[in-house]
Amino acid sequence: MFSVVIIGRPNVGKSTLFNRLVGRRQALVDDTPGVTRDRREGEGRLGDLRFRVTDTAGLEDAEPGSIEARMRQQTETALADADLALMMIDARAGVTPLDEHFARWLRRWPVPTVLIANKCEGAAGETGRNEAFGLGLGEPLALSAAHGEGLAELYDEIAAAMAARGEGEGDAAGGEGGVLQLAIVGRPNAGKSTLVNRLLGEERQITGPEPGLTRDAIGTEWTWEGHPVRLIDTAGLRRRARIDGKLEKLAVGDALHAVAYAQVVVLLLDALAPLERQDLTIARKVIDEGRGLVVAANKWDLVEDPQKARREIVSRLELTLPQVKGVPLVTLSALTGSGVDRLMPAVFALYQHWQARVATPELNDWLAQMIERHPPPLGHTGRRLRLRYATQAKTRPPTFVIFTNLPDELPEAYVRYLQNGLRERFALPGVPIRIHLRKQDNPYAGRRRNKSGRRK
């Protein structure tokens, strides 16, 4: 079984995360550092992923033969057997010298590592998370183990690591052992269950004219042209003010949970009443979660003027969802099967874009051209904004970090300009593109000049 080990200095929240992953209070948790001494193993569950997870003692620099040294040896043994390491820091406390010491130690191990900035509930810990970029372990994943925030992003990281070893989900569509998580969402009675039955080729889901027949988010294993897919039918999502009763609230929560753990989401519209306010609310939820979005207009066989209807849908999508220009639109009839054959090719094409990786030299060539074409404006203080360097921090969705001298002063309009430029240059239509701005410190700051005028 795929093995995940949680490591870090004392009292950063390792046991809290362990308990959340195993689904019960198995490890003791307290504010006192050093509660955990031996490594503890359990079966971790995150969405549909299953793996062995190991909680370890806090890493400390210790004299040979001491209890702390023996605790560290236990951690090293667990790390040697692991397929993935989760290195945790306390984002509220910031990066400590001990964090830096063990980050350097961990970089020497041949184990893939995900850096987790814990205790980031709400806006807490943002400064510490930014500091963690300097540890050299990639982009820190903001998490709150105590409150369960950031687990969808952790799911993506573990799934990608499992795919790299040919286990669990795939990091590439149809790759060995890869399973595409595909959720079908929409308003009640849009035809979601009918579409799922049409794709599967059997009456797997109950259908009918009555809205609200589906309550649970039902996942079905399926294979499309040799590609494994987990197809998830969900309950209809109504406006919050119209949700009645405990069962419907639970069903809606289950549907939103399915969106958070999907990779691609198909938003199914009723073509006779397309893109109502609730449809756009659902679309924004999908985008905010960083999932790939495909829009499918159902009941297209009943539309009187298809060309006009299509133009109106495309125009409204571009107007209301400018952050994901180029969202694929598929017109179909789930009842008759017309156009359904175009849906899955659109889904897998978007899945590839969602996982796209851009080489750093190409990315910085592009950034230089964008700056030359349209230089950043002056900051609020009159200083010139300088965009110095760009790198891609992660995929799923494509996420980029740009280092600048004044990260808090770059206007949102210029960030959108960069997002659109990335989408156009590197062919990334329809997927969320995230850009994080980070301050690049002056390497000469604080260094005194010698008598010759040179800094030392």
Provide the pLDDT for residue 251.
53
Rounded Cα distance, 233 and 194, in Å: 10
The string of pLDDT tens digits covering residues 222-235 is: 899 999 998 888 87
Which range in 54-63, 69-78, 143-152 is most confidently predicted, on average pLDDT? Answer: 143-152
Q: What's 91's DSSP letter?
A: T
0.85 exceeded by the pTM?
no
- Confidence class for position 25, pLDDT limits 50, 70, 90: very low
Listing DSSP states for 215-276 in one string gives -S-EEEEEEETTEEEEEEE------GGG--HHHHHHHHHHHHHHHHH-SEEEEEEETTS-S-
HSE of 328 in the Cβ direction (CA atoms, 13 Å)?
23
Q: What's 304's DSSP letter?
A: S
According to DSSP, the residues that pair with 186 across neighbouring strands are 268
Looking only at the bridges linking them, the beta strands covering 84-90 and 3-8 are parallel
Closest CA to 42 of 13, 3, 70: 3
Contact present, 234 and 254 (Cβ < 8 Å): yes
Closest CA to 314 of 299, 297, 300: 297
Contact present, 134 and 125 (Cβ < 8 Å): no
HSE of 346 in the Cβ direction (CA atoms, 13 Å)?
21
Q: What's 447's DSSP letter?
A: P
Rounded Cα distance, 306 and 309, in Å: 5
Least confident of 299-308, 323-332, 343-352, 372-381: 372-381
| Burial group, residue 393, by CB count within 10 angstroms (0-12, 13-18, 19+) | middle
Q: Could you tell me the domains of the chain?
A: 3-164 (3.40.50.300), 180-354 (3.40.50.300), 360-439 (3.30.300.20)
Residue 214 has pLDDT above 60, yes or no: no
Contact present, 399 and 393 (Cβ < 8 Å): yes
User: The tokens of 12 are what?
Assistant: 């950063």
Looking only at the bridges linking them, the beta strands covering 264-270 and 292-298 are parallel
